[in-house]
Amino acid sequence: MARLSGRRMIAVDRPGCGLTDEFRYTGTSDLRQHAVTFLSGVADVLDLDAMDLVANSMGGLWSLWFALDRPERVRSLALLGCPALAAGTSAPAAMRVLSRRGLGWVLERPATARSVQRSLTMMGHSADLC
């Protein structure tokens, strides 16, 4: 994003991810509605009638749900990776382990700036990007 110019770009973390406040999804009965409501809220707060969305993984799934439920608010959609939970796909082994009842809670830790930097570095991003 830092190398692109001429567009307003905003990176949004899902609730409970990245550097956002903690959010437990265990009480969320309708994840799709939660996602659509969240993205609608982001658009509302930013005073955007329609958005160009670029997303990856679970963000891709949320963006697809948003585009299906609120097509008038999505100008374009670019998916940079397979949306999470897409038919015929599976989450990486580490994510499947974290999703096991009880085990994920034990292994989960809130993200810190340092843990995000380590994760980005492990994914091949340069340290100055972090």
Is 31 or 116 the better-scoring residue by pLDDT? 31
pTM of the model: 0.66
Encoded tokens for 62: 């949320």
Tell me what the mean pLDDT of segment 58-68 comes to. Answer: 91
User: How many C-beta neighbours within 10 Å does residue 53 have?
Assistant: 22
Confidence of residue 58 (pLDDT cuts 50, 70, 90): confident
Is 59 or 102 the better-scoring residue by pLDDT? 59
- As a whole number of angstroms, the distance between CA 34 and CA 54 comes to 19
Q: What is the pLDDT of residues 11-53, one digit of tens each?
A: 998 888 888 888 887 788 888 999 999 999 999 999 999 999 9
Taking alpha carbons only, the member of 7, 8, 11, 14 closest to residue 65 is 14
Angle value at C-alpha 17, between 24 and 93, nearest 5 degrees:
90
Cβ contact 58:51 at 8 Å: no
Q: Round the CA-based radius of gyration of the chain to a whole number and report it.
A: 16
b/e map of 21-34 (b: 16 or more CB within 10 Å)? eeeeeeeeeeeeeb
Q: What is the pLDDT of residues 93-109, one digit of tens each?
A: 666 666 666 665 555 56
